[in-house]
Amino acid sequence: MHGILLFAHGARDPAWATPFRTITDHMRRESGGRPVTLAFLELMTPGLEAGVANLVAQGCTAVTVVPLFLGAGGHVRRDLPLLLDNARAHFPSVEIATTAAIGELEAVTLAIARAALTLLPLPADPSA
């Protein structure tokens, strides 16, 4: 079975995770029955390795990590590979792969741009 691990930064304020939990719930409904879990880099639990353990406990022999970061900064380029190496060492029989940071997808940047426009007041009608 192939599991999906959504990976976010984490924060001190528990409310910060609300949109990520909502994304996780949507993914569970849309994933075709594949297990989906959410893990965090820091300040929140579970961490990445515990997230992998959760998926393994559900019978997953393959896990794809989806970084929910807008860009591939230091956390994605430096921290994530180290965490993946540690998880692979603890779960050598599990295939663990990763995708690009979600913010690198054109569909995501376009959706954010469109959503941002909905937050702005409508332009004045030039014919009025």
Q: Peptide bond before 123: cis, by omega within 30 degrees of 0?
A: no
- Within the chain, where are the H helices? 18-30, 48-57, 74, 80-90, 106-118
- Whole-model pTM: value is 0.89
What integer best gives the mean pLDDT of the chain? 93
Whether 124 maps to a domain, the answer reads no
Return d(Cα 116, Cα 128) in angstroms, integer: 26
Tell me, what's the pLDDT at 123? 75
Cα(123)–Cα(128) distance, integer angstroms: 12
Which structural domain range is residue 65 located in?
Answer: 2-118
User: What is d(CA 28, CA 10) in angstroms, rounded to the nearest whole number?
Assistant: 20
Tens of pLDDT along 13-44? Answer: 999 999 999 999 999 999 999 999 999 999 99
Whether 73 maps to a domain, the answer reads: yes
The CATH number linked to 112 is: 3.40.50.1400
Q: Please give the Cα distance from 95 to 60 (Å, whole number).
A: 9
Domain count within the chain: 1
**Does a structural domain hold residue 24?**
yes
Residue 35 falls inside a structural domain: yes
Q: How far apart are CA 104 and CA 86, in angstroms?
A: 25
Is residue 46 a part of any domain in this protein?
yes
